[in-house]
A and B are shown apart, each in its own frame.
Chain A
Amino acid sequence: MPDQRPGPSPYGAALRLLMEPAPNTAVTAVAKPPTATAPARATRPDTRRAPAETMLKVENLSISFRTDEGLITPVQGVGFEVQAGRTLGLVGESGSGKSVTTKALMKLLPGNAAIAPETRMHYTTKAGAEVRIDTLKPGSRAARQLRGGEIGMIFQEPMASFSPVYTIGNQMMEAIRLHKAVGRKDARAIAIEMLDRVGISNPSGRIDQYPHDLSGGMRQRAMIALALSAGPRLLIADEPTTALDVTIQAQVLELMRELQRDLGMGMIFITHDLGVIAQIADEIAVMYLGTIVERGPTREVIRDPKHPYTQGLLRAIPSLDHLQDRLTPVPGDIPSPTERPKGCPFHTRCAQALVGTCDRKPPEEVFPSRGHGVRCWLHDGNGRSVA
C-alpha cells in the first residue's frame, strides 16, 4: 500500500526548519512582513494572527460500521477544533479513520455506519448561525446546504471525483446555482473566474471541456475550483496531493495555501505525510486507529513530539541531504479494525510501552502545555499507578 510508505518528501527542508530550536521571540517579532517580491515561505506566520474564532468543534466522535465480521468502531472518541481561516492537519497511516471522520462531518457516511449518540459536532455558518451537525438528517435540506455551500471537499483522485459525462462547467455551475441565487450567465462567470483563480489558462474555453480533456495537474486544479465554486467556509482536503508527482504536488500545495489565505477559509488537510503537514497546517492532529493520540500547534508538535507514535512518524520522514539514510518507518503492522488492542491502541507497536498499564487501560488526553494534548501514559502522572 503506497499509503503507508512515505515517499521522498520535498518538504524535508521546511520540516527541519520547524524542528530546529525555537528562535527567540524578539527575532520573531521583528520578522519582515511578507511582501510581493518575497512571499511568505514555508512556515506559516501564525504567531502574528489575531485570536481565532472556532468554526468547527468536534467532541467525542465515534463511528461504527456493521460489517460481515461484526460491529467495528474505526473512530473512537475523536475531538478536534478548526479555527476560522486556519488549517488543521489530520495525519495518520492509512486506515486510521481520517476519511471516515470527515465523511461524518459531511453526513456522507454509508448506510451501514452509525455515529454514537454522545457525539457533538458544532459548526458556525457563514451567516454566523450555530449548526449541530450531529443532529442533522443526511438527506435534509440543512445537510445539503452545508455540503458544498458551507463545507467543500476535495479528494485524492481528481479524475474520479468528476463525472466523466458532463463538462467541467456543467458540474461547477450546478454547484454554484445550488448554493447561490444566480442565473446561468452569472454562474458561468463565477465558474470561469474560479478556474482562472486556480491557475487554469484559457478558463472560458476550458469550462466547456470534459474532465478527460485536461492533464493530471490541471484536473487537480479544476477539482479545487469545483469544490470552492460555491464559496465554502471550510474546505476538507482528503489527501489532495498524495496521487500527484512531487513537482505538481508542490504547486498544488502552494495554490491551496494561497487560496486559503485569500478566501479566508478554514481547512482540514488530510495526509499521511508529516512533511506536507509541516508546510500547510497551523495545527496538527495525529490519528492512530481511530483515536487522536496527539494534537497541538504544528511547530510545537513537530519540534517536541510527546507521543511515541508521532515520534516514529517524524523519524520516518526522509531528509533531503541524507538520502543514504534508510527510512525508519514505525515498526510493526497496524492491527485490523476488528482486533483493536485493549488499553492504548498503540501498545502492540510501542517500544516504550509500560507493561501492565498500557495494555490495560486507554490513556486519557493530558496537556503537557497549553493547547498541546497527548494520550500516552508516559505523560500521565497517574500512569504508573494504574497497574
Chain B
Amino acid sequence: MLRFTAERLVGMIVTMLLVSLMVFIIMELPPGDYADRYAFRKYSGTGVSVTASDIEAIRVELGLDKPMMLRYLDWIGGIVLRGDFGQAFAFETSVVKVIGDKVWLTLAILLSTLLVTYLVSIPIGILAAVRRGSAADYGLTVISYLGLALPNFLLALILLYFANKWFGADIGGLFSAEYADAPWSLGKAWDLVKHLWLPALVLAWSAVAYQIQTVRATMSDEINKLSVTAARARGVPETRLLLKYPARLAINPVVSTIGFDVNRIFSELPIVAVVLGLTELGELLLQAYLDLDMYVAGAILLLLTAVVVFMNFVSDILLAWLDPRIKLGA
C-alpha cells in the first residue's frame, strides 16, 4: 500500500506539472496582453496619445516582454517555492490577496457538496438494493429519477423560496450580514456551516440521484455473490455481513467517479452561485479573462485543476484500499 501510494503521488506531481504548463499556454491564448489593456485603461479619455513605445515600456515593467518559457518558469517557481501566484494587474496587488478567501470558500462548498452526495446516496443505494422490489425501493427509484430530471438551479430557486419563507431572509449567500466582513472566528465558521447546507444540497442533487442508481445496481450484484452466501453460511450477522462484504465493493464505482463529481460541481457552481448569491472563484475567473489579467486567471485555473487532480489521487488510494486486487494491476 505504501509503495502504491508513493507511485500514485509521483504520478500526481507529474500530472500537476503538465497541467500547469497547459494552464500557462491557455493563459497566453487570448489575443493581446495586459500591457495593451493597461495602457488603454490608464490613458483613455485623458487626451494623452499612447505610442507603441509607451506600451512596450509598460510591457517591460510588468515583465511581459520575456520569452514565454522563462515567464512560465518564473511563475511556477514562485508558486512552488514561495506560494506566490504573481501580480493581479487589474487590482494592483498580489493574486493571493485577490483570490485568498474565495479559494477556501469554493473548497468548502466543494467538500460539503461531496459529503452530502455520498452521505445521502451510499446508504440509500445500499438500502434500496437490500430491500429490492419493496415499496421503499420503488419510492426511492422514482425520487431519484425526479432528481435527474430537475435542473439544480431550478431546485435552488425553489429551496431559496421556502428557506426564505421559513427561516427568514437571511439564507442566501454564505454568511449572515453581521459576519460577512468580520474577521474569522468560531462564530463566523459556524455561520458558514449554517449557510453551506443549501448550496451543498442543490449541487449534490443530481449526483445523489445518479449515485443512488449506481450503488443500488452494484450492491444488487454483490449481494448475490457466492462469497456473501458463504459468509452467511458461517453465521455472520446480516447487517455486519452486508456492510463488510457487498457494501465495501458496492461503493467502488462511486469512489472511482469522485473526480467526475468534482468536475461537475465546478462546472455547475457558477450558475448556482449566481442564484444563491455565493462568493466563489468562477465569477472571478471570467472577470480575469475579460480583463486579460492572466495571473489571476492562471491561479484560479491551476487551483481548480489541482483540486480535480488531487481528488483523483484520493479516489485511487481509496479504491486500492477498498479492493486490494487493484494494487496488483497497478
Chain A interface residues toward B at CB < 8 A: 106, 108, 139, 144-149, 152-153, 155, 157, 160-166, 171, 174-175, 178-179, 210, 212, 226-227, 230
Contacts and interface: CB of A to CB of B under 8 A. Distances in A.
B231 interface: yes
Interface string B177-207: 0000000000000000000000000000000
B242 to A, nearest CB: 12
A139 B238 contact: yes
B245 interface: yes
A139 B226 CA distance: 18
A211 to B, nearest CB: 9
B45 interface: no
B236 interface: yes
Given A165-B248, A175-B234, 12 more contacts: A146-B235, A148-B235, A148-B236, A160-B225, A160-B227, A161-B227, A161-B229, A163-B227, A165-B325, A175-B236, A178-B234, A230-B235
B233 A148 contact: yes
Majority secondary structure of chain B interface residues (helix, strand, loop or mixed): helix
A64 B231 CA distance: 24
B232 A174 contact: no
A230 B230 CA distance: 14
A166 B231 CA distance: 12
B232 A212 contact: no
A165 B320 CA distance: 10
Contact of A175 (B235, B248, B325): B235
B234 A164 contact: no
Contact of B235 (A165, A171, A178, A226): A178
Contact of A108 (B232, B324, B325): B232
B249 interface: yes
B227 A162 contact: yes
A161 B238 contact: no
B231 A212 contact: no
Given A164-B325, A165-B248, A165-B325, A153 B236 contact: no
B234 A163 contact: no
B235 A149 contact: yes
Contacts of A160: 225-227
B63 to A, nearest CB: 54
Contact of B237 (A144, A161, A165, A210): A144
B312 to A, nearest CB: 22
Interface string B218-260: 0000000111111111111110000011001100000000000
B234 A108 contact: no
B96 interface: no
A147 B325 contact: no
A161 B233 CA distance: 10
B230 A162 contact: yes
Given A148-B235, A178-B234, A157 B328 contact: no
A174 B228 CA distance: 14
Contact of B236 (A108, A155, A174, A226): A174
Contacts of A148: 233-236
B135 to A, nearest CB: 15
A212 B226 contact: no
Contact of A164 (B232, B237, B323): B323
B325 A155 contact: no
Contact of A153 (B230, B244, B249): B230
Given A160-B225, A163-B227, A164-B323, A230 B234 contact: yes
B322 interface: yes
16 contacts: A139-B238, A146-B235, A148-B233, A155-B226, A160-B226, A161-B229, A161-B230, A164-B324, A165-B322, A166-B244, A171-B234, A175-B235, A175-B236, A212-B328, A226-B234, A227-B234
B236 A165 contact: no
A212 B229 CA distance: 19
A108 B323 CA distance: 27
Nearest to B326: A165
Nearest to B327: A210
Contacts of B324: 164-165, 210
Contacts of B230: 153, 155, 161-162
Most chain A Cβ neighbours within 10 Å, of B225, B229, B248, B328:
B229
A108 B233 CA distance: 7
Contacts of A174: 234, 236
Contacts of B245: 163
A300 B233 CA distance: 33
A338 B51 CA distance: 94
A178 B236 contact: yes
A147 B323 contact: no
